[in-house]
Amino acid sequence: MSLWGVSSQADVLETLQAQLKTSNLPIESIADSEVPGLFSLKLSDGTTLLTDATGTYFIQGDIYQKTNGRMVNLSEQERSDSRKALIDGLDEAQMVVFAPPAAKLKTTITVFTDIDCGYCRKLHQEVPELNRLGIAVRYLAYPRAGIDSASFDKIVSAWCAPDQKKALTVAKAGEPIPSRTCDNPVKMHFELGELVGVTGTPSIVFEDGRLLPGYLPAARLAAQLGLPTDS
């Protein structure tokens, strides 16, 4: 609930928008925040700032709310919702997917991966066990060295291979694969990773939009997902 009534709050937002037009901030949206008296600015790079009604003071950081005796990270909830919307909007045909039979599927993880990343290779070795536990693994490309790198070229070659799953598996085993080019989503995946907060690989996005940075063995990952590991 804000400190103002509906009509005056709309006036405050309008004034704030006019005030911020003269700033150099790449603002995508302005809205009331969960904190009375403060407004949420979403920037084009995904950053969220809080500002006062005059657009003079700015705060960057997470908002926590005390609820039923515990602290809830409202900012992370918002990031998860935004992440989920972005991932849900992707075409699965542009991913490399390792999935169990449909009858055994329990949940799906979407993984930003890099061929030359040691922990990405360790996670890939866990894929058969993840599939056995009912977890589908959908890969998105995230060459950590950047667009103009050997890692980028390698992962493009895997995405352009006739058998993407085999090529990715061979490459993650440290073996060479034929160099290929084609229309591919690797650059788009990389830019999406930057937008959703990927800072390293593997980065695992759960179905609800939560982001798990780093590697976990299959059993621990299943536990994070609330799945039994003895099935």
- Active-site positions read 114, 117, 120, 144
Residue ranges in the chain assigned as alpha helix (H): 6-20, 74-88, 118-125, 127-132, 150-159, 164-172, 186-196, 218-224
- Total residues found in the chain within this entry: 231
- Gap between the Cα atoms of 229 and 220, Å rounded: 9
Q: Hey, what are 187's tokens?
A: 């650059």
Residue 88 vs residues 108, 135, 187, 201: alpha-carbon distances, Å: 12, 17, 18, 20
Phi–psi pair at 104, nearest 5 degrees: -105, 0
β-pair partners for 113: 141
